[in-house]
């Protein structure tokens, strides 16, 4: 049986990857996380016009990023690497999200917008670009 090879781009595309070494550095630390680290995700959500939170290597996260980039938006990207990191992120987001945390999640203007399905539906209906302009992610 063949094993899948993870997708890796041949050129460096750091389209807003703001947490590249966050979790790898966090694993090296042997002390309990401080309140500042616990609020990292919430701060990123409030400070960025558009942020995508998804699992590393997830095809749906890739589609979300590419759609936003094709519209001229350079979203901040937060990629969750492992299940225990997913639990940490989910705990941080529970204060602003009702219900289950599902990836990918798109935040526009500091508020949860939805996932891939809502993003695609809004894009098809023509309502996404005005929303992005209102949030300050597009200047056209």
Q: What is the CATH number of the domain that holds 103?
A: 3.40.30.10
Highest-confidence segment of 28-42, 68-82, 93-107: 68-82
12-22 pLDDT per residue, tens: 444 444 444 44
* Number of structural domains found in the chain: 1
The share of the chain scoring above pLDDT 70, in percent, equals 72
> pLDDT band at residue 23, thresholds of 50, 70 and 90?
very low
Instruction: Enter the pTM of the model.
Output: 0.70
State the Cα–Cα distance between residues 75 and 66, nearest whole angstrom. 10
| Omega before residue 104 within 30° of 0, cis | yes
Q: For residue 103, give its domain range.
A: 39-135
State the Cα–Cα distance between residues 61 and 79, nearest whole angstrom. 9
Position 10 scores a pLDDT of 43
Residue 15 lies in a domain: no
Residue 93 lies in a domain: yes
Residue 13 lies in a domain: no
Residue 98 lies in a domain: yes
Of 40, 69, 55, 44, which is closest to residue 103 (Cα–Cα)?
55
Of 40, 85, 37, 79, which is closest to residue 57 (Cα–Cα)?
79
Residue 94 lies in a domain: yes
> pLDDT band at residue 60, thresholds of 50, 70 and 90?
very high
State the Cα–Cα distance between residues 6 and 58, nearest whole angstrom. 10
Residue 23 lies in a domain: no
Residue 3 lies in a domain: no
Q: Average pLDDT in the 64-85 region? A: 90
Q: Average pLDDT in the 56-81 region? A: 92
Of 55, 119, 106, 113, which is closest to residue 76 (Cα–Cα)?
106
Residue 2 lies in a domain: no
């Amino acid at each position: 049986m063949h094993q899948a090879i993870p997708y890796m781009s041949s050129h460096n595309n750091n389209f807003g990857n703001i947490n590249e070494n966050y979790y790898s550095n966090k694993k090296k630390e042997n002390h309990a996380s401080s309140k500042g680290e616990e609020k990292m995700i919430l701060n990123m959500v409030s400070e960025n016009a558009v942020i995508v939170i998804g699992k590393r290597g997830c095809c749906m996260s890739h589609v979300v990023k590419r759609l936003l980039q094709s519209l001229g938006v350079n979203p901040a990207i937060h990629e969750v690497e492992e299940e225990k990191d997913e639990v940490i992120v989910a705990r941080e987001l529970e204060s602003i999200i009702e219900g289950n945390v599902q990836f990918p999640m798109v935040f526009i203007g500091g508020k949860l917008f939805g996932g891939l399905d809502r993003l695609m539906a809004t894009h098809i209906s023509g309502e996404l670009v005005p929303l992005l302009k209102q949030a300050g992610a597009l200047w056209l």
